[in-house]
Amino acid sequence: MNKVPILLFLITLVPFSLSSSIVKLNINGPIDSITEEYIIDNFEKLKIMEDLSLIIIEIDTPGGLDTSMRTIIKSIMNAPAPVAVYVSPKGARAASAGFFITIAADIASMAPGTNMGAASPVAITGQKIEETMKKKITNDAASYAKSLAKSKKRNLELSEKAVRESKSYTAEECFNNNLIEYIAEDIEDLIAQLEGKEITMMDGEKITLKLRGKPITDIPMSGRQKFLKTITNPNLAYFLLIFGLIGLYLEFTHPGIIIPGVLGGISLLLAFLAFQILPINYVGLLLILLSIGFFIAEIKVQGFGVLGIGGVISFLLGSIILINAPIPEMRPTMSIILTFSLCFGLVILFLTFKVYKAMSQRTETGQEGLTGETGIAKSDIDSHSGKVFIHGEWWNAVSDEKIPAGSRVNILSMKQFTLKVKGLYNQEKE
């Protein structure tokens, strides 16, 4: 029997088969579909863990997607053990979606020097919401916040103000006004404060926490989730888009190089994968693609200047509105946009100029390369025969007029490897 698959299966269960009754998850950064998957998957796995006493979610977030937030809250409220959300480390925050997640927990705690709140709903694309729709969304979010606070016996008034007035509160304000239960220096301090506390679960079950001496199992994101979280960094996603476009543009204008096309295609696909997770403005994406069309048209019509500049402007405008989320962490920084746009514009304009220059140069070989050139008659030339020396080669030649040997001749055309020439009698014979 092959023992390798069994061994691999057991390794995947190691984090959940330990004697530890305290498990810690981490939310660090914007709350998106990857964060949602990480929390949901692990909560499902924790249902089979024996002797599970406490789940701790350490959080530091500027907010994120409403749909992901609500799914995470559902898992917290139906967890197999009490859930403690801990805003940490010092200087961290639980803003917007993070505020809802914190007040939905069985135990809400914060480190000194942290804050939470500012939970007013906004359009994730940064666009202005129509007034009636804004009222509906705000009322829904405020009701949701009060419902969560009421279920956990927390301050309804401050919860509502965090939504309607975008109020944000320090750890001390939250503690003194019953938004959280504990202020803890670190995880160990939090666990020490929780020892012996009675927690009432959503189904009414009362659980007394016995945590002293219990080890903590920290469960990180999987390799796949870490990879997706990395490429959904807006600055990296934006770079992949630019790199991909340059690679494909280089391949289209210089066929046969292959490597830029391969790398460009992979980068572009990774960028589009990131855009499926990030909130993007499709008008911005279309403007960027339109800029590539301008650059290609610049080559075809050979009108260097106007279309090229139009392409740079289109690309810059598209970049600015491409990822225009209200949360700074979910959009590229303006300095990155300006730098990348400038570099992209210069690279594309340089490549366009080189292609335009190459297309403008007269062919150096073949019939087109000889037409208009000057050679030397090495024999008398008439309408039937003759010899011409040009470009280091001897050619058969004919002429409508008689041309004496040694005269300079101008190449008019070529037919079946025979040149038709005319004499340049103003030139001295050689």
Confidence check: pLDDT of 111 > 80: yes
Confidence check: pLDDT of 7 > 60: no
pLDDT bin (cut points 50, 70, 90) of residue 324 is low
pLDDT recorded at residue 185: 95
Top-confidence residue, 251 or 178: 178
Contacts 24+ apart (CB under 8 A), 161-166: 162/99, 162/116, 162/117, 162/118, 162/119, 163/119, 163/120, 163/121, 163/138, 164/120, 164/138, 165/120, 166/117, 166/118, 166/119, 166/120
Confidence check: pLDDT of 13 > 50: no
Confidence check: pLDDT of 408 > 80: yes
pLDDT recorded at residue 1: 43
Confidence check: pLDDT of 278 > 50: yes
Evaluate whether 375 touches 409 at the Cβ level (below 8 Å). Answer: yes
* DSSP 8-state secondary structure symbol assigned to residue 330: G
pLDDT recorded at residue 125: 47
Residues 6+ apart with CB under 8 A from 119: 63, 95, 96, 97, 99, 100, 141, 145, 162, 163, 166
pLDDT bin (cut points 50, 70, 90) of residue 87 is very high
For 356-401, the pLDDT digits (tens) are 666 565 555 555 567 778 889 999 999 888 999 887 788 889 998 9
User: Distance between CA atoms of 228 and 395, rounded to whole angstroms?
Assistant: 65
User: Distance between CA atoms of 140 and 424, rounded to whole angstroms?
Assistant: 91
pLDDT recorded at residue 222: 93
pLDDT recorded at residue 338: 81
Confidence check: pLDDT of 186 > 90: yes
Q: What is the mean pLDDT of residues 391-420?
A: 86
pLDDT bin (cut points 50, 70, 90) of residue 160 is very high
pLDDT recorded at residue 305: 63
In a 3-state reduction of DSSP, which class is residue 428?
A: coil
Query: Token match 């997706």: residue?
Result: 228
The most confident of the ranges 125-134, 268-277, 333-342, 347-356 is: 268-277
Confidence check: pLDDT of 353 > 90: no
Q: What are phi and psi of 339, to 5 degrees?
A: -65, -50
Query: How buried is 319 (Cβ within 10 angstroms: 0-12 exposed, 13-18 middle, 19+ buried)?
Result: buried
pLDDT recorded at residue 232: 84
For 198-251, the pLDDT digits (tens) are 998 887 888 999 998 898 999 999 999 999 888 888 888 888 988 888 888 778
pLDDT recorded at residue 291: 84
Amino acid type, 110:
M
Look at residues 223, 110, 224, 125 and name the one whose alpha carbon lies nearest to residue 171.
110
Residue ranges of alpha helices (H) inside 47-104 are 66-77, 97-103
pLDDT recorded at residue 273: 86
Confidence check: pLDDT of 14 > 50: no
Q: What is the mean pLDDT of residues 130-154?
A: 90
The whole-model pTM stands at 0.70
Q: What is the mean pLDDT of residues 289-306?
A: 73
Superfamily of domain 366-424: Nucleic acid-binding proteins (2.40.50.140)
Pick the CATH number of 15-222 from 3.90.226.10, 3.10.450.50, 3.40.50.1980, 3.90.650.10: 3.90.226.10
Q: What are phi and psi of 94, to 5 degrees?
A: -130, 80
What is the domain partition of the chain in residue ranges?
A: 15-222, 232-360, 366-424
Top-confidence residue, 407 or 122: 407
Query: Token match 């405020």: residue?
Result: 142
For 325-348, the pLDDT digits (tens) are 666 666 777 788 888 778 877 777
